[in-house]
Structure 1
Amino acid sequence: MGPSLEGETAAVTRRRRLTLAAMCIAQGMTLLDITIVNTALPAIQRDLHMTPGRLEWVISAYALSLAAFIPLGGALGDRYGRKRFFVVGMVIFALGSTACALSTTDLSLIVSRAVQGVGGAVMSALTLSILTETFPPARRAGAIGAWAAIAGLGFGLGPVVGGILLSFADWSSVFWVNVPIAVIGLAVTVVAVEESRDTQARHLDVVGVALLAFGLLGITFGLIESSSHPWGDGLVVLPLTGGLMLVLAFLLWERHTPTPMLPSTLFRARSFTTGCVVYLLGYLALTGVMFYVTLLFQNVDGWSPLRTGVSWLSMNIPFLLTAQYAGGLSRRFPPWVVVSGGCAIGAISVGVLASVSDTTNFGVAFVGYVLLGVGWGAFVPATINVAMRDVPEGTSGGASGIVNAARQVGSSVGLAVLGAIGVNAASSAWARQTSSVADAGRQAQAVAGAEITAVTHALGADVRGAAVDAFLSGYRLAMLTAALCTLAAAVVAVFGLRHVPRVPPSAPPRARPAPEQDRAVDPVGSPAPAVD
Structure 2
Amino acid sequence: MSPRQARLTVAAAVLGSIVVFVDSTVVNVALPAIADDLGGGLAGQQWLSGAYLLTLGALLLVGGSLGDLHGRRRMFTIGLVAFGVTSILCALAPTIETLVVARALQGAAGALLVPNTLGLIVAKFPRNERGAAIGSWTAWSGIAMVGGPLIGGLIVDSASWRWIFAINVLPVLAALAIVRQVDAEHDTPSAGRVDVVGAVLGTLGLAGPVFALIEQPQLGWGHPVIVVTLVGGLALLAAFIGYERRAPHPMLPLALFAQRNFAVGNASTLAVYGGLGASPFFLVLFLQQVGGYNALEAGLATLPVTIIMFLLSRRFGALADRWGPRLFMGAGPVVAGAGIALFARIDASADYPSQVLPAIVVFGFGLSLTVAPLTATVLGGVPESQAGMASAINNAVARIGSLLAIAAIGAVVASQLGGSGTSFASVATGTAEHAFHVAVLVTGALVAIGGVLSALGIENPKRDVCAADCPGGAVVGASREVETVHA
How high is the TM-score relative to the length of structure 2?
Answer: 0.87
Conserved 8 A contact 1:314-1:370: yes
Give the letter for the 2:142 counterpart: G
1:425 aligns with 2:386: no
Structure 2 Cα separation of the partners of residues 195 and 396 of structure 1: 24
Conserved 8 A contact 1:19-1:193: no
Which of residues 436, 439, 454 in structure 2 aligns to 1:478? 439
Q: How does 1:147-226 map to 2 (within 5 A)?
A: 147-192=137-182, 201-226=191-216
Structure 1 Cα separation of the partners of residues 204 and 220 of structure 2: 23
Cα gap change, 1:512 to 1:487, in 2 (>3 Å): closer
1:94 aligns with 2:84: yes
Cα gap change, 1:85 to 1:445, in 2 (>3 Å): closer
CA deviation string 1:140-177 (max 9, x = no partner): 66665554443332222222111111122111011012
CA deviation string 1:82-115 (max 9, x = no partner): 2221222122111111110011111111111011
Query: Residue 401 of structure 1 aligns with which residue?
Result: 392
Cα gap change, 1:163 to 1:504, in 2 (>3 Å): closer
Q: How does 1:64-83 map to 2 (within 5 A)?
A: 64-83=54-73
Query: Residue 413 of structure 1 aligns with which residue?
Result: 404
CA deviation string 1:410-465 (max 9, x = no partner): 121111001001111232xxxxxxxxxxxxxxxx556x51124xx5xxxxxxxxxx
Q: How does 1:99-110 map to 2 (within 5 A)?
A: 99-110=89-100
Structure 1 Cα separation of the partners of residues 348 and 48 of structure 2: 26
Q: How does 1:47-446 map to 2 (within 5 A)?
A: 47-131=37-121, 146-192=136-182, 201-325=191-315, 327-363=317-353, 364-389=355-380, 398-427=389-418, 445=420
Cα gap change, 1:510 to 1:396, in 2 (>3 Å): closer
Partner SS, residue 227 of structure 2: helix
Cα gap change, 1:162 to 1:423, in 2 (>3 Å): same
Conserved 8 A contact 1:319-1:375: no
Cα gap change, 1:105 to 1:513, in 2 (>3 Å): closer
Cα gap change, 1:504 to 1:451, in 2 (>3 Å): closer
191-200 or 401-410, larger mean C-alpha shift: 191-200
Cα gap change, 1:403 to 1:445, in 2 (>3 Å): closer
Q: CA deviation at 1:288?
A: 1.5
Structure 2 Cα separation of the partners of residues 74 and 35 of structure 1: 22
Structure 2 Cα separation of the partners of residues 317 and 493 of structure 1: 25
Give the letter for the 2:75 counterpart: F
Structure 1 Cα separation of the partners of residues 315 and 147 of structure 2: 20
1:32 aligns with 2:10: no
Cα gap change, 1:369 to 1:510, in 2 (>3 Å): closer
Structure 1 Cα separation of the partners of residues 361 and 183 of structure 2: 36
Conserved 8 A contact 1:101-1:173: yes
Conserved 8 A contact 1:198-1:395: no
Give the letter for the 1:415 counterpart: I
353-362 or 108-117, larger mean C-alpha shift: 353-362
Give the letter for the 2:433 counterpart: L
Partner SS, residue 405 of structure 1: helix
Give the letter for the 2:403 counterpart: S
Give the letter for the 2:363 counterpart: L
Query: Residue 448 of structure 2 aligns with which residue?
Result: 487
Cα gap change, 1:403 to 1:197, in 2 (>3 Å): farther
Q: CA deviation at 1:241?
A: 0.5
Q: CA deviation at 1:251?
A: 0.5
1:449 aligns with 2:412: no
CA deviation string 1:339-377 (max 9, x = no partner): 334323321211112321213531221122223333334
How high is the TM-score relative to the length of structure 1?
Answer: 0.80
CA deviation string 1:280-307 (max 9, x = no partner): 2222112221111111111111111111
* Identical aligned residues as a percent: 32
Q: CA deviation at 1:514?
A: 7.7
Conserved 8 A contact 2:280-2:302: no
CA deviation string 1:169-212 (max 9, x = no partner): 11101101211122233344444586656876432211111111
Cα gap change, 1:303 to 1:406, in 2 (>3 Å): same
Structure 2 Cα separation of the partners of residues 89 and 220 of structure 1: 25
Partner SS, residue 261 of structure 1: coil
Q: CA deviation at 1:469?
A: 1.3
Partner SS, residue 404 of structure 2: helix
Structure 2 Cα separation of the partners of residues 189 and 150 of structure 1: 18
Unaligned runs of 5+ in 2: 467-480
Cα gap change, 1:511 to 1:343, in 2 (>3 Å): closer
Query: Residue 459 of structure 2 aligns with which residue?
Result: 498
Q: CA deviation at 1:234?
A: 1.8
Query: Residue 524 of structure 1 aligns with which residue?
Result: none
Cα gap change, 1:510 to 1:315, in 2 (>3 Å): closer
How many pairs does the alignment contain? 474
Q: CA deviation at 1:36?
A: 1.1
1:469 aligns with 2:434: no
Unaligned runs of 5+ in 1: 1-7, 428-443, 456-466, 516-532
Q: CA deviation at 1:32?
A: 1.1
> Which one has the largest radius of gyration?
1
Cα-Cα RMSD: 3.1
